[in-house]
Structure 1
């Protein structure tokens, strides 16, 4: 029996790379990467291309959506707002307004064209920054919208295999599946080395430490 095609939203971060490893077990792969004016866009694109070489998906698509930077509203995209090292707000400044909703909408359109049955996204609501579009309730509702908004014969479902895992568990699962963590990039900032100070770096470093596994990417001042 032939495998169905699945789209993986691949940012180049460790969570999306683990999703790619999971999807590769039972699906043919199509990778979708977004360049939306994020401050780490060069490094993310560099790592995405390396992950494409590693996983060898049947298809991949790099999509530029500059309007997210143009409208602002996030320290990840706005040049006038610094990325904080500590942000204890219920919804931190690094939240990009409705980013996952936009990404999933575009992924759905591509899935309908290429015949993909699944869309894998590495959202997580255990060890996460509080982004509202990473919650399971949002994904369930979005699945309903896909069902209502596509052709009757279309069957597309969002898969969130990491939604209930801790970051430590995600690292452990990635190691078990052979995920190439050395090719990934989680830092919110641009640079040859990850900053180690932003919220994303802190979550990643904590996860590897708790898993008892060295993080294979270099960090500043580490």
Structure 2
């Protein structure tokens, strides 16, 4: 296999789009993976497809799950309100075990593709308190990956890439713009409309808006 393949987890948001642009710039053949997991924000799936196509993915796959069947998050349970102010501790927008589930499926696809590289847009600076966005979690998952897979047993190491881990939102945006990324294609809002308009009030919207301020560029987000 001459090309260096990588699986990129793409949610349709600002961070994962930037990671995809970075992976492409590094010369990877990018296989993008999104999840229809019962999230309230359906517009992000369309955004993920747009972003993947615009950045020249080899293949875009959507895996369907039913995390809404167990609930426990404002992103999957309509009975839990999306907060519009910062809260102490882990917020109700945390989806139980989401990154573990997503990375596990990404790992499986990577094995099928013969890819040893997986990219994910987690961030320890603007991570909203999610426990599965911390560097120690990623290190633990990578260790597990190389214990639990055939390619790991055969001595071919899987690497989980987190290029945004130590970057602020403004730095992330500047990096993406330098790579020609069109952020108007992305949707970050936790409760975006079907058409992709952002509420401008949720935690994700506030972080995104401040990021464009910090980057010193116009915010292309469509707000309600």
Q: TM-score range by the shorter chain?
A: over 0.9
Aligned twin of 1:33: 34
Shift of 1:59: 1.7
Partner of 1:214 in structure 2?
218
Partners of 2:56 and 2:21 in 1: how far apart?
Answer: 12
Q: Which runs of 5+ in 2 are unaligned?
A: none
- CA–CA distance in 2 between the matches of 1:155 and 1:216? 39
Give every structure 1 segment of 4 or more consecutive aligned residues whose post-TM-superposition deviation is greater than 2 Å.
none
The equivalent of 1:168 in structure 2 is 170
- Distance in 2 (CA, whole Å) between partners of 1:211 and 1:59 is 31
Equivalent pair of 2:184/2:221 in contact (CA under 8 Å)? yes
What does 1:27-66 align with in structure 2 at a 5 Å threshold?
Answer: 27-41=28-42, 43-66=43-66
For the 8 Å contact 2:14–2:188, the answer to whether it is kept is yes
Matching residue of 1:158: 160
The Cα of 1:167 is off from its aligned counterpart by 0.7
Query: After superposition, what is the alpha-carbon deviation per residue over 1:26-82, rounded to whole angstroms, capped at 9, x for unaligned?
Result: 2111000001111112x112112212321221122100111x110000011001111
SS at match of 2:62: strand
Contact 1:186 1:200 in 2 (8 A): yes
Distance 1:204 1:125 in 2: 15
SS in 1 for 2:137: helix
What is the alpha-carbon distance in structure 1 between the residues aligned to residue 204 and residue 170 of structure 2?
14
Kept after mapping to 1: 8 A contact 2:49/2:60: no
Q: Distance in 1 between matches of 2:112 and 2:34?
A: 17
Distance in structure 2 (CA, Å) of the matches to 1:70 and 1:131: 21
Asked if 1:201 is matched to 2:200, the reply is no
**Aligned-partner Cα distance in 2 for 1:33–1:213:** 28
Distance 2:147 2:127 in 1: 29
Bigger shift: residues 84-93 or 199-208: 84-93
Aligned to 2:145: 146
- Quote the Cα distance in structure 1 between the aligned partners of 2:2 and 2:215: 36
2:11 paired residue number:
11
Tell me the C-alpha RMSD between the 2 structures: 1.2
Partner of 1:190: 192
| Structure 1 unaligned blocks of 5 or more | none
The answer to whether the Cα contact below 8 Å between 1:36 and 1:64 also exists between their aligned partners in 2 is yes
Q: Deviations over 1:68-113 (max 9, x none)?
A: 1100000110011111101412100000001001100110011001
Asked if 1 retains the 8 angstrom alpha-carbon contact of 2:33 and 2:62, the reply is yes
Equivalent residues of 1:16, 1:122 under 8 A apart: yes
Partner SS for 2:63: strand
In the alignment, the residues of structure 1 paired with residue 74 and residue 20 of structure 2 have an alpha-carbon distance, to the nearest angstrom, of 27
Partner of 2:126: 127
